[in-house]
Amino acid sequence: MARRIAPTALLCLALAATSCGSAPDEDRPSPSPSVDLHLPAGVEYHETSEEFGRRGPSAVKILTISPDSKARVAGIHAKELAGTATVRDMAQQTGARAAVNGSFFDIATGRQYAGYEGDPLGLYAENGKILSEASNGRAALLLGYEDGRLVARVEETLTTGRLLAEDTTQRELDGVNRVPGRVLGCGGVGGDRIANTEEPMDEPYTGLCTDVDEIVQFTEQWSSRTPPGPPRSSEAVLDEDGTVREVRVPAGGRIPPGGSTLYAIGPGAGWLQGHALKGSRMEVSQEMTDGAGLAMSGQVDSAIGGSHRLLRNGTVTVAANAAGGKPNPRTVAGVKADGTLLLVTIDGREVGVSAGATLAEAARYLATLGAVDAVNLDGGGSTTMIVAGELRNRPRGGAKDDVTERPVSNGIGIFDQ
């Protein structure tokens, strides 16, 4: 394991609306030399200790991946999207040489838990396929390759889906791989209402939105079965080529290998029964666009949704008093001007050892590492850094909890090319 450097510096407390430049070398500790953990060429792992605010030190772990590294960086998830696994287990199962946790998810201890803990909240894509729709407008880490080089970026993202029946009738696809009618985090494609007020909501929102008229696609990555449906729901079972095998009423049942299902509630159930006729074809399409609704440039192989954009063109974009203004463990991703990807974990909730960071502090710290764009991923007890099969940080669900590797929905893996 890398040696730990004693904290000697205090990060500058600039206004959150502006970026904070790098502190002088003599005023802050340098990361430890890259440890030889037999990572792919162009991938380095460092450990250091930093002080954020005046609360004491925090242990920081950093993976640096150059755009021309001999590595592949991609999203990884548990065996089923409907379930969870530790980052270490996901890395072992997929062969990742290193990994961190990824997006937020429908954790069982959440107030609005829908019964499927692995369900990613917001955008998640693997191998160029959208497996969870965006919470429209939230920032995400996008990963792709051009001429063998990693292209990493942070973008606000939108996703739109369409259904085209064989009779040429079209309908909006509301989501992917989630319980229909429940939109955790809101930001859906239309018809969403805040659950406890019925107020229409088409923006991301901290809480639960509902929608009584939805069609949601379930892919084989979700699980072997879809959730049991209410009495008047319906579900079209599709072969890989989009041919309708059957329409189940109510919804709920097996997902065919290589195929998918379209699960409908409310008026959507009637539309499905009227247009998804057995033996006919149903075309399902999804598109990822930028925050302005324009086609995403370049290849996107993996996408991991976050909560807050932390940096844009080198400027801190999260206010000091924003949600996340309390110090906590953090997992954050940043991209340098030359395309270098930074995956960083900051430990917290351990008095005298690791105090954690606020979102604004994490943003300013990434700027000192050279990041120009950055996004906040899931943190708290989910924050995990695995390198060479070993846990490198100290995850804690609470200040009084033991160090524990929390099962999570997905992560970001680093593989041999």
Instruction: Give the pLDDT of residue 21.
Output: 37
Instruction: Give the pLDDT of residue 31.
Output: 56
Q: Are residues 283 and 168 in the same domain?
A: yes
Q: Are residues 320 and 378 in the same domain?
A: yes
Query: Is residue 403 included in any domain, yes or no?
Result: yes
Instruction: Give the pLDDT of residue 12.
Output: 30
Q: Among the three residues 253, 288, 323, which one is the final residue of a domain in this structure?
A: 288
Query: Is residue 407 included in any domain, yes or no?
Result: yes
Q: Among the three residues 233, 258, 288, which one is the final residue of a domain in this structure?
A: 288
Q: Are residues 273 and 327 in the same domain?
A: no
Query: Is residue 233 included in any domain, yes or no?
Result: yes
Tens of pLDDT, residue by residue, the chain (417 residues):
333 333 333 223 232 333 333 333 344 445 565 556 889 999 999 999 999 988 999 999 999 999 999 999 999 999 999 999 999 999 999 999 999 999 999 999 998 999 999 999 999 999 999 999 999 889 999 999 999 999 999 999 999 999 999 999 999 999 999 999 999 999 988 899 999 999 999 889 888 999 999 999 999 999 999 999 999 999 999 999 999 999 999 999 999 999 999 999 999 999 999 999 999 999 999 999 998 889 888 899 999 999 999 999 999 999 877 776 899 999 999 999 999 999 999 999 999 899 999 999 999 999 999 999 999 999 999 999 999 999 999 999 999 999 999 999 999 999 999
Query: Is residue 6 included in any domain, yes or no?
Result: no
Q: Are residues 162 and 270 in the same domain?
A: yes
Rounded to whole angstroms, the Cα distance separating 183 from 34 reads 42
Looking up residue 264, the CATH number of its domain turns out to be 2.60.120
Query: Is residue 299 included in any domain, yes or no?
Result: no
Q: Are residues 175 and 282 in the same domain?
A: yes
Query: Is residue 103 included in any domain, yes or no?
Result: yes
Q: Are residues 282 and 388 in the same domain?
A: no
Q: Are residues 254 and 358 in the same domain?
A: no
Query: Is residue 147 included in any domain, yes or no?
Result: no
Q: Are residues 43 and 98 in the same domain?
A: yes
The two tokens of residue 39 are 């990572």
End-to-end CA distance of the chain: 24
Query: Is residue 7 included in any domain, yes or no?
Result: no
Q: Are residues 281 and 321 in the same domain?
A: no
Instruction: Give the pLDDT of residue 414.
Output: 98
Range of the domain at 405: 25-109+306-416
Q: Are residues 232 and 311 in the same domain?
A: no
Q: Among the three residues 288, 314, 349, which one is the final residue of a domain in this structure?
A: 288
Q: Are residues 271 and 169 in the same domain?
A: yes
**Total number of domains in the chain:** 2
Q: Are residues 403 and 314 in the same domain?
A: yes
